[in-house]
Structures are given as structure tokens and as C-alpha cells.
Amino acid sequence: MKQLLSTILFLFTVTAIFAQPAADKISVIIKAGKFTINKAVISEGWRKDVASVTLGMAERKRPGYNTTYTYDNLGIVLFEKNDDKLPSGILSEVQFYISAGDTNAVSPKGFFAGKMEVEKVKISSNLDWKTLREKLKDYTSSESYMEHNFRLAYKGIYIYFKYNNEETVLQKMSIGVDKSSK
């Protein structure tokens, strides 16, 4: 009986540690060079373990140039740098899928349903590019790698905003270290 109770307690503890938070309870804030997910500061060292403790276990992990961790239920993908083909523990980028758009092998099945703010600007799928650009005046714009994808940077953080063809529906945000400002 003691062994059964010990096993149940152990399984409960492991489940609690690795359980994902509810998708709508996630809060992302980017302000003055600080990037947080549920109060966990991602931008301090960009450590993968900090994000994983906050988000729980990813549904999918995929090796490649980076090791990716896809959170299908949260609409989030973590990109971990690889050193000599092995995960380094350091994030190169975090992506949030806001609405329907292009998909690939690492795209989550669901969309980000939490709250997100960039310098007190509430982010949602219906925030068009023109309005967003006007509100983020302190951010520097630079060349992007594809159409309808806009790169802004401020205080060591870059953000790519991927829009639909009309630039009225935000589809995805990619956030990482802005190496050009260092």
C-alpha cells in the first residue's frame, strides 16, 4: 500500500512539473529589451530550460539546423541553437502563431490564445501592420527576408511580424536576439 501511494505521489509530481499551462493563461510581454513569458524572463540568457519550465513539455521535438520544440496546443515553437549537431540550451528564436497562414513541419496545430503586449501595444490577429508600425515608433525597421514579413528591433530584441497579403491580419511573430545592435 505504501509503495502504491508513493508511486501515485511520484506520478502526480512528474505530471504537475511537465504539464502545460492553459493556452489562454499565457502572458507574453516585450518591454524595453525584456521578453517574458508568464513572468519567466526569456531575454536573460535566452535559455531553453527557462522557457520549457514555463511552457511544459512540447508535443513535438525535431532535430535539424536548430532543434525545434513545437507546442501544438499553445501555438508556440522554440528554436534551440545546436552546437556540433547537439542542442546547446540556448534559444535562437521563439515563434507565436497568431492566425492561419503558411505552415511547415514545425508549425503548431493550434494558435496562440494568450495575451501579448509589445511596449504596451496589445497584439492580436486584427492589428494591421500600418497601425502597429505607428505605435512602435522607437523600434528600428530593417530588411526582411520575405514579402509581408516585417522586422523591427529595439534594445537587443528583434521581432518579425508575418502578415497576410493585404497586411491586415497578423499570422505569426518571431522573436529573438538582435545581433545587429550588439
Mention every residue, 6+ apart, whose C-beta is less than 8 A from residue 52.
Answer: 58, 69, 78
Distance CA 111, CA 48 (A): 21
Residue 93 within any structural domain of the chain: yes
Residue 80 within any structural domain of the chain: yes
pLDDT value for 21? 81
Pairing, β 115-118 against β 27-31 = parallel
pLDDT tens for the chain, residues 1 to 182: 556 444 444 444 444 445 678 878 999 999 999 999 999 999 999 999 999 999 999 999 999 999 999 999 999 999 999 998 899 999 999 999 999 998 999 999 999 999 999 999 999 999 999 999 999 999 999 988 899 999 999 999 999 999 999 999 999 999 999 988 65
Q: Which residue has the cell 552546437?
A: 83
Residue 13 within any structural domain of the chain: no
pLDDT value for 2? 55
Residue 10 within any structural domain of the chain: no
Domain limits for position 63 = 22-181
Q: Considering its fold, how many domains does the chain have in total?
A: 1
- Helix H or strand E segment including 79: strand 76-83
**This prediction's pTM:** 0.87
Residue 34's DSSP bridge partners are: 31
Residue 116's DSSP bridge partners are: 28
SS3 180: helix
pLDDT value for 1? 56
Residue 158's DSSP bridge partners are: 153, 176
Mention every residue, 6+ apart, whose C-beta is less than 8 A from residue 86.
Answer: none
Residue 115 within any structural domain of the chain: yes
Residue 61's DSSP bridge partners are: 69
pLDDT value for 24? 82
Residue 147 within any structural domain of the chain: yes
Residue 46 within any structural domain of the chain: yes
Identify whether the C-beta of residue 45 lies closer than 8 Å to the C-beta of residue 34.
no
AA letter at 131 = T
Distance CA 17, CA 61 (A): 18
Residue 84 within any structural domain of the chain: yes
